[in-house]
A and B are shown apart, each in its own frame.
Chain A
């Protein structure tokens, strides 16, 4: 039975190649002679399998067991048309309507339906038809079936994906088609995936010893946890001495690489947490660090920034749906201006009357934070708002199997450094920066020299608030956009600023990244809750020793 179905499969593969190949005519010419001689004899089998049409209809009927059977039979026919249908089923775009199977053009409720067999317009939308439900088991089978079907696809990315999908299930009967695909493969990425899958299948298979040893040696070139699991699993079984030695050496190679990438991963996660802390704290480093205002409403500025991102996104969805991926870029200036303006208003309306009275400032800004929270809750409602991750920021970069860096985190790390760099430039090299430093160092003298200290105060506070708004744009990508967003960042922000040294931007940078790294290296051992407590205790002890933080400002102005 296995030999029969395997042959049928190879035939199918050949047909798939033929159908999908861009040079369809030549492939068709070649098919009977060179590529697949079995094609001719396999066609008229005695117990002819159900027709493609019948199988497609079966996909939509019965329980999950029936559907799985239908998918498996359909895959075995290798009909290239089934790729489209199975992909639609995987994506949840397959529908039944009046006992016909339809494919929806998108996931939307009003998506048009096309007949899966005739491609005719169904005349109804997805809302009226009933969707073919899929569960995880079926999804796994679909993934591997699509992997097998796309091994010969003209698109190298699809071929690589196909091989990777087969790696998860590792069906032994796929060894030969894989070897055939590998022989023709020219794309290095696809080739690597295919070699990986093939080695994983061959090493466990009952093939000849030399082949198994070669496969075991090949696996040593990969560094992902699953390869390690395969090799560890092999060692528990009965192996010939030669094979055992190869497996052991491959395993130690894989483990060495995994350990190395594990450390890199931890560093990246620490840097990424650090960049989030940095973003949240930069604004506060200006309002609290430079101006000395204990601004409890800082978190709410972040929250308003995140809501601005949401509003800009909704505007794009309404008027420029094609460019919605780039709405986040426009959100940055929008959030800066909006929160900056709110910051100026708060400074002029409340804080300027309270300079030098830390306790009153604390209470007043806390009150403002509550007012802002409840205002947002009243306008937008208490539920989370969805800010979609743009496609260029979603997903992850698989450096190697053991290390995946998510794009949104990478983007946030870069973004936080750019923001910090710009603030540093502004403070050092612009007239406004000069005025700002002059006013904070010696208000009376600055005033005597003709600087309008009131305006500088308002603009500095606006700048700090605007930066918090920009942070909100970035944080909307990793956190919830809800009225409580700011509260979760306010304590961390103060921690970073105090730890790094009040009034020092570099201190904020170093403080944020060292807190991020320490947190991430502690977390695997101590757990998230204890890790946080350790960090807090460590900071308290540190502040006892160095009350001015890591980078203390020196000079007379500090004492004032």
Chain B
């Protein structure tokens, strides 16, 4: 299979390179990559860091001599946490700036709104954030975790002896596509493990919800039924700070009711006094506290670039790090930045991630990652309390939703499809 991939890649690269040579031989002095993140508005809190990460890696690549003998140039645009604007800016990047790849988006709604643009204009998007799965686009590479690389292992951990053998579940989330889909998968998974419907509650809150008194009291009440209770939080963005403050103030200790979060990382904890939160959990594929030489080097580089040794690193930064380097390798392998060539060359690319393993780009455009469970510490970092032995391959379609379990995402011959029940050829 891989031999075929490579052959196809080389062939495509050859065809593409001759095609491109005629069009833009004199125009293309630099290789352009687009950075499509929110630098203002609600999501700026998370996405600005990713923009800086991209600039750092582009700088680094240029200082090492660039790519294919050319300098790489980052074209940064601000989508201002406005999703229709994101689609417009994506169109500008692809059609006007003629970038060769785009690194961007944080929320699923951003990805969903730019997806048609990327498919129509044949662009490449690297999406660095954990998401709800149930998607595999020809034009998108998902370097964040899919549910089976984050949500399911986290629930498994809480059910294990070390995690406290949770029997009752509270699924809290912000009201939009990612939490709803993730919780749908989790409900199905929990039921397959024999958890009764009466032992699960699901609750949604609006974006930026700030008054958590009722919900936290409800959780306390639900947890006092004599069975060990755990909370799975898909609360996103700004709402997390008041939520955790309320948890701390109402005295919910992690050894009584552990809360595992999928959207809370080092960056989000930076605005919080984590003393009362010690022991609450997060599931990611990377923590800043990972002890690996690659990670130490990355943190050092980050601190030097941002000129502030207090800044933290987080999981989506690692995802961009892997995604960008895989793209660089694929460009080198094809000898061109042509989208069709790179898209095929990138499948099967291997790159050392920051946790000491080697991630691989899979045929479904997802990557393999380790799953780490961390406990919040008083210093705002995570202590890793559980880690999968092997890397977990990302699943585009969940096995726990019947209509999705039938679907396959495979962008190589004979499937060449993101959501098919039968191969195309």
Contact = CB atoms under 8 A, between A and B. Distances in A.
B270 A383 contact: yes
Given A64-B162, A382-B39, A168 B270 contact: no
A110 B58 CA distance: 35
Contacts of B44: 377, 382, 483
Interface in B75-103: none
| A: contact size bracket | 35 or more
A349 interface: no
5 contacts: A107-B378, A230-B226, A232-B226, A265-B217, A382-B44
B40 A377 contact: yes
A385 B250 contact: no
Contact of A479 (B241, B248, B378): B241
A522 B130 CA distance: 33
A382 B205 contact: no
A191 interface: no
Given A136-B279, A396-B251, A408-B245, 16 more contacts: A134-B375, A136-B164, A139-B254, A140-B256, A224-B224, A374-B40, A382-B39, A384-B268, A386-B273, A396-B250, A409-B213, A480-B238, A484-B42, A484-B45, A520-B213, A523-B214
B28 interface: no
A368 B16 CA distance: 50
B214 A226 contact: no
B122 interface: no
B308 to A, nearest CB: 9
Contacts of B175: 529
B204 A527 contact: yes
B387 to A, nearest CB: 12
B205 A529 contact: yes
Contact of A168 (B42, B226, B256): B256
B225 interface: yes
Contacts of A480: 238, 241-242, 271
B390 to A, nearest CB: 19
A395 B375 contact: no
A143 B255 contact: yes
B208 interface: yes
A418 B211 CA distance: 22
B211 A384 contact: no
Nearest to A109: B379
B171 to A, nearest CB: 13
Contacts of A477: 245
Nearest to A477: B245
Interface centre among A230, A483, A519 (most CB of B within 10 A): A483
Nearest to B175: A529
Interface string B221-253: 100111000000000001001100110111101
Contacts of A109: 379
Interface string B20-53: 0000000000000000000111101100110000
A395 to B, nearest CB: 7
Contact of B273 (A232, A266, A383, A389): A389
A269 B249 CA distance: 14
Contacts of B249: 389, 394-396, 406-409
A480 B214 CA distance: 19
B255 A137 contact: yes
Contact of B203 (A168, A233, A408, A528): A528
Interface centre among A109, A389, A480 (most CB of B within 10 A): A480
Contacts of B276: 394
B297 to A, nearest CB: 19
A488 B375 contact: no
A248 interface: no
B350 interface: no
B218 interface: yes
Interface residues of B, number: 62
A225 B221 contact: yes
A230 B224 CA distance: 9
Given A409-B213, A482-B271, A135 B375 contact: yes
Interface string B190-222: 000000000000011110111101110110110
B258 A136 contact: yes
A30 to B, nearest CB: 37
B232 to A, nearest CB: 15
A484 B378 CA distance: 26
Interface string A394-428: 11101000001011110000000000000000000
B213 A383 contact: no
Nearest to B274: A386
A386 B268 CA distance: 10
A226 B213 contact: no
B5 interface: no
A38 interface: no
A481 interface: yes
Given A107-B379, A386-B271, A484-B238, A135 B385 contact: yes
Nearest to A135: B385
A92 interface: yes
A532 interface: yes
A213 B253 CA distance: 32
B329 interface: no
Interface in B371-409: 375, 377-379, 383-385
A524 interface: yes
A538 interface: no
Contacts of B258: 136
Contacts of A226: 224
Interface in B253-301: 253-256, 258, 267-268, 270-273, 276, 278-279, 281
A484 B41 contact: yes
A383 B45 contact: yes
B206 A532 contact: yes
A235 to B, nearest CB: 12
B348 interface: no
Interface in A266-292: 266, 269, 272-273, 276
Contacts of B307: none
Given A137-B161, A384-B271, A404 B251 contact: yes
Contacts of A143: 253, 255
A214 interface: no
Nearest to A382: B44
Nearest to B215: A528
B255 A140 contact: yes
Contacts of A358: none
A64 B255 CA distance: 14
A272 B224 CA distance: 24
Given A384-B241, A386-B270, A395-B249, A139 B214 contact: no
Nearest to A522: B214
Contacts of B42: 484
A385 B241 CA distance: 11
B242 to A, nearest CB: 5
A384 B217 contact: no
B205 A528 contact: yes
A478 interface: yes
A234 to B, nearest CB: 10
B66 interface: no
B357 interface: no
A196 interface: no
A487 to B, nearest CB: 8
A146 to B, nearest CB: 12
B226 A233 contact: yes
Nearest to B220: A225
A265 B213 CA distance: 10
A117 interface: no
Interface string A468-509: 000000000111111110011000000000000000000000
A167 to B, nearest CB: 11
A383 B220 CA distance: 30
B335 interface: no
A323 interface: no
Contacts of A396: 249-251
B278 A92 contact: yes
Contacts of B225: 229, 232
Nearest to B386: A135
Contacts of B251: 395-396, 398, 404
